[in-house]
Amino acid sequence: MNLLQVSINRIFALSRREELEDDINAELRFHLEMRAQENIERGMAPAEAVLSATRRFGNLNAVKDACRDIRGGGLLEVLRQDLRFALRILRKDRLFTLTAILALAFSIGLTAAVFSVANTVLFRPLPYDHPEQIMALWNRDSHFPERRYPFSYPDFKDIQAASKSFATLGAFMVSNFVMNADSGEASWVRAAHVTPNVFPLLGVEPTLGRTFLESENGPGNRVVVISYDLWQRAFRGGADVIGKSLTLDEQKYEIVGVMPRNFRFPFENQPAEIWTTTSTDAEAHYNGAPPLSTERAAHYMNLVGRLKPGAKRSEAEAELQAAVLRAAAKYPKTNDLFDGANVTPLLNDLTDRAKPVLLTLLAAAFCVLAVACVNITNLRLARATTRQKEIAIRSALGAGSGRILRQFLAESLLIALAVGFLAVLVSVAANVLFVALLPPQFPRSFELFPDWRLLAVGGILTLISSILVGLAPAWHSARSYPAPVLNDCSFVCTETAKGRRIRSLLVVVEIVLSFMLLASTYLLVRNLWLMKHLNPGFNSDNLFTAQLSFPDERDPKIFTRIEDFYRHLRERVSKLPGVESSSAASVLPLTGLAPISQFQLVGEKEKLPQPRTLLSIVTPNYFNTMAIPLIKGRDFTESDRRSSKLVVIVNQSFVRKFLPNQNPLGRVLKSRMSDDMNGPTEKEIVGVVGDVKIRDLTTEGEPEIYFPYAQSIIFSDMTLIARTKLSPNAILPDIRRLVAEADKGVALTRPCLMSEYLSSAVAQPRLDMTVMSIFATMVVILTGLGVYGLMAYVVGQRQHEIGIRFALGAQKGVVFKLIMKQGLRLVVWALGLGIVCTLLLVQVLRPFLSATGGGEFAAVCWVTLFLSIIGWLACWLPARRAAQLDPLVALGQRPAQLGH
Amino acid sequence: MVKPNRKLVQGTLDMLILKALCHGAQHGYGIARRIEQLAADALIVEEGSLYPALHRIEQQGWIKSKWKVSDKNQQARYYSLTAAGRKQLEQEEASWIRLSDAIRKVLVSA
């Protein structure tokens, strides 16, 4: 028989143990009967014959064992025994087993989920060819350091010509189209305008048809490539889609290609479904103005490039910076806004702002896992010492230290299996929960669903934790000596001073980690609460909003069309029952999307570089609708038209920054909108309004200029705003009707309440707070258990000593105080250390606590109080039990119950 | 070359079992009787080690076993030599004879 046959036999032997047993018994019994028979034939009496046969055979059981060993399951059989025994032991001490499994499973599950998310967002390569070579290029302005600016088309051409580090350099711009279905229904579709070299740059081939030719980048070309999803949705995946046409913004575009499924460019949460060339902007803009693509002042093109093999990012960046500065010097009127540039790998460009959050959450998750492992190890060590008697007996009966070690490992294995199974469930649930809490602008959230990687991480963590947790007690127990334990010499301490110090140190570590996590949670909760109560500068109750998208028309009559549309619409919407007032604006507060304008105050020395502010274009009644206070002067009215005097309204921060201690009304400023043909025009300040939070809830004091819509129609897409008396959502059908009546070509999208914008503004802090509080809760529970476990163990160890003290006349109170002192000393040390660590930690947390300064002192005080109570409680219970010990039990004269 | 005593005995027992099965299948008790017969009762087989040995050399593939009805109408496990076992027996016999010759030479000369 070869090895395979032997192994198979062994496995069969495992499953048919009874049969094997019978087999061996039968064979040996036969032998004995034959021998007895022979003895009888020789003349012995039957009883003596049997006896003689048995005696001659020797130790029947030993032979049976030997045969069973040879033919039986071998190693597997032993393992099976170990596992069965381990199961029994674990079942006996249910509380410990359950605690261990739950604690480990939850910590591993949470850690795996956070790890998997962090890994996907920060490290998974983008789905393009050699994605590490693809870079994003940006203009920078040191006055607004956190902003990145796109380029103008002429700038792009210059950079492309001068570039040495890039193999390919392409440009793209995101916009939207109003797509008309055959039924005439208008819907809104997101699109990207790309230079034809972008698709080859990304290295992704279309699944049907082709991408753009260089010749198609000129005016008059109306070609599109569509996404897989759009192909399925609008054309049912038919293979004849190439050559068909789509109506976008009331123009026909020919479909030349379809991109593969899961292709996404730009790599944003909201995918573009249509790609077209940049030529569509190379056409006459409104009013016979020169095409945008020749406008050096129109910075709206995002640049993306692929590095030459061997080229370095830093070189490319230096090159770009030189080019930007050259352009600023050569074209000061349009380019002096920029004084720097960035070249960033595309992946980092997308994900860097999520890095601090994810790394911190990961650190916290590992803290929790560490605490759980430490805890379980401590508890197991304690239990191992109480099981000494059992180990000693087994050792005396002949179990080698290898066998005993295997026993403990078998217990660890069982726990690991249970933990692994549960951890998988927890990690999937945690992943789903995490994604649900994510703020909408969180990068790559569309890729965050549970997959095999999550399970793999969970599996590895389970393995590592189980090894760590199982090793220490196994090693410790295998080294114990049976004799003293069996002799019940319980004053022989098998625990060394070093061992006790290590265990105490572990508990201190637990308490310190708890402290830090609790303090972080406190600060994050406070942050969220404060943020929710920050004044956004307007009233967001019952405020309905919706985006209106106009088809881009080249018709010079577009101005009147748009102006009429908005005027009629506002009139009719205001007349709807249930609507208090309505208005429209180019951009909403809290979205951070306000564009920037340069201006110059007339009557002052010309400043270079020109000062900049945020700008917003609004219709009359905007401030009233939003409940933004009008501090001085007047609102825009219907009489502020294109032909009348040009006016603007500024906010208080503007006055504070640029016109301190002066009357702003009547002052004139010069600024240039991209439809001002002849350079900057003069506009008079006619009003001052209160500040609103434009970028996010916490950035204050940003100056802003408001322009009347009628005098600056460059944004045909505006946001309609209406304040309703009661339920804002109820007016949506009416609004749709009115919009369609006013102009059939206009698409209405993204109807939502202003309060939802407010809610997503706090989404990030809410996510941080929720995850942290889950971690903190777990850690506090574990630490409480840890301290309790340690103290209970200490009481067990000192039992004999306590018995002696009682015997010598100590009162219960003395014993109680003794134990308490030992425990509390540990807790106090740990809290002290915790305070120090937390104060250091707070520096790390600062970027998350945007709404607060201070609060650290309060955090430290509250957490110290809370943990002291928990620590005190965890010491009190064992101390009380020690004080109530029966002295005879403590002295070992009367046996206590085994196991506790 | 000093082998521990037990191993020598074990190897010897295996060879004796194989020899005993040379002339036909036999059950465990019968093997013990036959060895004693062949050795003219000069050898007493330690019964405690017979059955483990049988099972061991069955695992090694030199004998195979089958449950049959004995001549006394009882169920017994019968062992028989395999081809590999026969070859093993020849080898062992040859090396045993060589070994005992060598030992005898040494003893006689001394």
* pLDDT at residue A227, rounded to an integer: 92
Collect all residues of chain A within an 8 Å Cβ-Cβ radius of residue B59.
Answer: 1, 6, 9, 70-71
pLDDT digits (tens, 9 = 90+) for A569-590: 888 888 888 888 888 888 888 8
pLDDT digits (tens, 9 = 90+) for A770-804: 888 888 888 888 888 878 877 777 777 777 788 88
Of residues A728 and A834, which shows the higher confidence score? A834
Of residues A877 and A560, which shows the higher confidence score? A877
Mean pLDDT across the stretch A267-289?
70
Confidence bin at A306 (pLDDT 50/70/90): very high
Q: Does the pLDDT value for residue A281 go beyond 60?
A: no
Collect all residues of chain A within an 8 Å Cβ-Cβ radius of residue B32.
Answer: 31
Q: Which two tokens stand for residue A48?
A: 């003596």
Listed residue (A215, A224, A228) closest to A276, CA to CA: A224
Cis, bond preceding A609 (omega within 30 deg of 0): yes
- The residue among B34, B55, B68 with the most chain A CBs within 10 A of its CB, best to mutate, is B55
Q: Does the pLDDT value for residue B9 go beyond 60?
A: no
Annotate A249-289 with DSSP letters as a single string.
Answer: TTEEEEEEEEPPTT--SS-SSS---EEEEGGGGSS--GGGP
Collect all residues of chain B within an 8 Å Cβ-Cβ radius of residue A70.
Answer: 52, 55-56, 59
* Least confident window among A58-72, A191-205, A489-503, A724-738: A489-503
* pLDDT at residue A453, rounded to an integer: 86
Neighbour count for residue A784 (Cβ, 10 Å): 20
Of residues A604 and A818, which shows the higher confidence score? A818
Listed residue (A570, A613, A523, A576) closest to A854, CA to CA: A523
pLDDT digits (tens, 9 = 90+) for A373-407: 888 887 777 777 667 777 777 777 777 777 777 77
Give yes or no for a contact between A166 and A312, defined as CB atoms under 8 angstroms apart. no
Collect all residues of chain B within an 8 Å Cβ-Cβ radius of residue A62.
Answer: 48
- The residue among A6, A12, A27, A56 with the most chain B CBs within 10 A of its CB, best to mutate, is A27
Average of per-residue pLDDT values in chain A: 81
Mean pLDDT across the stretch A105-118?
90
Give yes or no for a contact between A435 and A445, defined as CB atoms under 8 angstroms apart. yes
Q: Does the pLDDT value for residue A10 go beyond 60?
A: yes
Q: Which two tokens stand for residue A95?
A: 């509380």
Q: Does the pLDDT value for residue A644 go beyond 90?
A: no
Mean pLDDT across the stretch A329-336?
79
> Does B55 contact A67 at a Cβ distance shorter than 8 Å?
yes
Residues sharing a CB contact under 8 Å with residue B71, sequence separation 6 or more, in sequence order: none
* pLDDT at residue B7, rounded to an integer: 45
- The residue among A1, A5, A25 with the most chain B CBs within 10 A of its CB, best to mutate, is A1
Q: Does the pLDDT value for residue A259 go beyond 90?
A: yes
Residues sharing a CB contact under 8 Å with residue A44, sequence separation 6 or more, in sequence order: A52
Collect all residues of chain A within an 8 Å Cβ-Cβ radius of residue B61.
Answer: 1-2
Q: Does the pLDDT value for residue A896 go beyond 60?
A: no
Size of the A and B interface in Cβ pairs below 8 Å: 53
Residue of B nearest to A26 (CA): B76
Q: What is the 3-state secondary structure (H, E, C) of B60-74?
A: CCCEEEEEEECCCCC
Q: Report the distance separating Cα A742 and Cα A218, nearest Å.
A: 34
Average of per-residue pLDDT values in chain B: 81
> Does B59 contact A71 at a Cβ distance shorter than 8 Å?
yes
* pLDDT at residue A851, rounded to an integer: 58
Q: Does the pLDDT value for residue A287 go beyond 50?
A: no
> Does A30 contact B74 at a Cβ distance shorter than 8 Å?
yes
Mean pLDDT across the stretch A177-192?
77
Cis, bond preceding A577 (omega within 30 deg of 0): no
What's the burial of A581, exposed, middle or buried (CB within 10 Å: 0-12/13-18/19+)? middle
Q: Which two tokens stand for residue A278?
A: 């940049």
Confidence bin at B4 (pLDDT 50/70/90): very low
pLDDT digits (tens, 9 = 90+) for A232-250: 888 888 888 898 888 887 7
User: pTM (2 decimals)?
Assistant: 0.72
* pLDDT at residue A226, rounded to an integer: 92
Of residues A74 and A747, which shows the higher confidence score? A747
Q: Does the pLDDT value for residue A818 go beyond 70?
A: yes
CA-based nearest distance A417→chain B, Å: 34
Mean pLDDT across the stretch A835-861?
77
* pLDDT at residue A491, rounded to an integer: 43
Of residues A421 and A564, which shows the higher confidence score? A421
Listed residue (A603, A605, A611) closest to A653, CA to CA: A611
Q: Does the pLDDT value for residue A101 go beyond 90?
A: no
* pLDDT at residue A144, rounded to an integer: 74
Collect all residues of chain B within an 8 Å Cβ-Cβ radius of residue A31.
Answer: 28-29, 32, 47, 51
CA-based nearest distance A46→chain B, Å: 18
% of chain A at pLDDT higher than 70: 88
- The residue among B59, B62, B64 with the most chain A CBs within 10 A of its CB, best to mutate, is B59
Q: Name beta bridge partners: A209.
A: A257
Closest by Cβ to B52, choosing from A26, A57, A63? A63
Query: Which residue stretches of A487-552 are H helix?
Result: 497-532
Q: Touching check for A68 and chain B: CB below 8 Å?
A: no
* pLDDT at residue A892, rounded to an integer: 67
Confidence bin at B2 (pLDDT 50/70/90): very low
The residue behind tokens 């409940």 is: A627
ipTM comes to 0.83
> Does B47 contact A70 at a Cβ distance shorter than 8 Å?
no
- Angstrom CA distances, A267 to A261, A349, A443, A503, stand at 14, 10, 9, 50
Chain B segment 1-60 residues within 8 A of A by beta carbon are 27-29, 32, 46-48, 51-52, 55-56, 58-60
Confidence bin at A286 (pLDDT 50/70/90): very low
Closest by Cβ to A70, choosing from B55, B75, B77? B55
Collect all residues of chain B within an 8 Å Cβ-Cβ radius of residue A54.
Answer: none
pLDDT digits (tens, 9 = 90+) for A34-91: 888 888 888 888 888 888 888 888 888 888 888 887 776 667 777 788 888 888 888 8
Closest by Cβ to A70, choosing from B27, B46, B52? B52
Of residues A203 and A752, which shows the higher confidence score? A203
> Does A26 contact B56 at a Cβ distance shorter than 8 Å?
no
* pLDDT at residue A486, rounded to an integer: 57
* pLDDT at residue A428, rounded to an integer: 92
Mean pLDDT across the stretch A159-182?
85
Collect all residues of chain B within an 8 Å Cβ-Cβ radius of residue A7.
Answer: none
pLDDT digits (tens, 9 = 90+) for A126-161: 999 899 999 999 988 887 777 788 888 888 989 998
Give just the sign of the alpha carbon dihedral A621, A625, A626, A631. positive
% of chain A at pLDDT higher than 90: 9
CA-based nearest distance B85→chain A, Å: 11
Confidence bin at B8 (pLDDT 50/70/90): very low
Q: Does the pLDDT value for residue A15 go beyond 50?
A: yes
> Does B51 contact A66 at a Cβ distance shorter than 8 Å?
yes
pLDDT digits (tens, 9 = 90+) for B51-110: 888 888 888 888 888 888 877 788 888 999 999 889 988 988 888 888 888 888 888 876
* pLDDT at residue A202, rounded to an integer: 92
Q: Report the distance separating Cα A453 and Cα A405, nearest Å.
A: 33
pLDDT digits (tens, 9 = 90+) for A597-629: 778 888 777 766 677 788 888 888 899 989 899
The residue behind tokens 């004044």 is: A535
Collect all residues of chain B within an 8 Å Cβ-Cβ radius of residue A39.
Answer: none
Q: Does the pLDDT value for residue A14 go beyond 80?
A: no
* pLDDT at residue A712, rounded to an integer: 75
